[in-house]
Amino acid sequence: MTATRRGRGPDAQARPHGGPSRWSRFWFSAGSPTPLGVFRALFALCLVFEVETGLEMNVFALPGGYHLPYASFVPAVPEAAYRALHLGQLPFIALLAVGLLARTSCGMLLAMQGWLFFADRLEFRNHPWFFLLVLLLLALSPCGEGFSLRSRLRSWRGISPARAVPLTAQRLIQVQVSLVYLFAGLHKLNASFLGGHVLSHHLATGLGSGLSGRFLRGAVGEPTLASWIEVLREPDRLMAASIASAGLELFLAFALWWRPSRPLAIAAGLAFHLAIGLAMNVFAFSLAMLASYVLFRNGPRVADRPFGGRAT
């Protein structure tokens, strides 16, 4: 890309001699709306799983018992509204999935999930926190422009769909995913995790329960499953897996960005998240992280185009 061509972008004034900075090209370029649209639809499916989990887990939002509120102005969720606040998310999740009133739906979901989440500090879980951040960024993005019923309806009415949209919010979601991997990996660099204690505890308790437990009982029988769980109770046996797991998260934080390492990162991430989902029953978050890989499809190369340039 030549300096002259860069100079046509909106940042030309900021850098009259060199066109937009790398920073501006990264954050404020335009690109195809399709990856974000596909991510929006997949992310909506993950939210369905979270509604079910939330019904069971968000009980600190209810009155009664000990509470540790973030702020006094966030009231507890009335018992009568608790179920409605969860199930009421489903219509908006459906709209988000098909891409109709997508940003309005994000706003509604943000409000409903936000109330449940911020009602009490004991409520905190990383996974809903990630979902809230993604919902915020989707609400500020043109996520309904691609792979959506909205764009389809517009094209039926003769309005040509947007070919290029600002990628700023998409970039923020990508960076957010990398930050999750980076800090999750860095937090694991301690004796408790690397010594196999954490994996031992969670695998020994998670493997025999939930979907994986039902599947394994059927596949190998109760005695074999029990013997596997007994093996998992020994932390030393999980040291190598623990080191690999922390290393993989650090690898994924960077490897998704570069074209040469991306196929390996996607394959490794797929195996990693499926294993977490099955062995530790963490499905919604695992699927959401996997869904985000779609966003890396047109990574930095599209970002080279200044905003307003033609996307391909």
State which of positions 175-214 bind another protein (CB under 8 A). Answer: 175-176, 179-180, 183-184, 186-188, 190-193, 195, 197-199, 201-202
Pick the closer one to another protein by CB: 66 or 156.
66
- DSSP of the chain, one letter per residue? --HHHHTTSGGGTTSTTT-S-HHHHHHS-EE-SHHHHHHHHHHHHHHHHHHHHHHHHGGGGSSSS----S-TTSPPPPHHHHHHHHHTHHHHHHHHHHTSSHHHHHHHHHHHHHHHHHT-GGG--HHHHHHHHHHHHHHTTTTTSSSSHHHHHHHHTTPPPPS-EE-HHHHHHHHHHHHHHHHHHHHT-SHHHHTTHHHHHHHHHHTTSHHHHHHHHHHH-HHHHHHHHHHHT-GGGGHHHHHHHHHHHHHHHHHTTSTTTHHHHHHHHHHHHHHHHHHH--HHHHHHHHHHGGGGTT-HHHHTSPTTSPP-
Q: Which of 75, 124, 237, 312 binds another protein (CB under 8 A)?
A: 124
Closest approach of another protein to the CB of residue 221, in Å: 28
Q: Which region, judged by CB under 8 A, interacts with another protein, from 82-90, 132-140, 254-262, 292-300?
A: 132-140
Pattern 60-99, another protein, x by CB under 8 A:
x-x-xxx-x-------------------------------
Pick the closer one to another protein by CB: 97 or 138.
138
Rule CB under 8 A: which residues touch another protein? 10-11, 24, 27-28, 30, 57, 59-60, 62, 64-66, 68, 103, 121-122, 124, 126, 129, 133, 137, 140-142, 145, 162, 164-166, 168-169, 172, 175-176, 179-180, 183-184, 186-188, 190-193, 195, 197-199, 201-202, 235, 280, 307-308
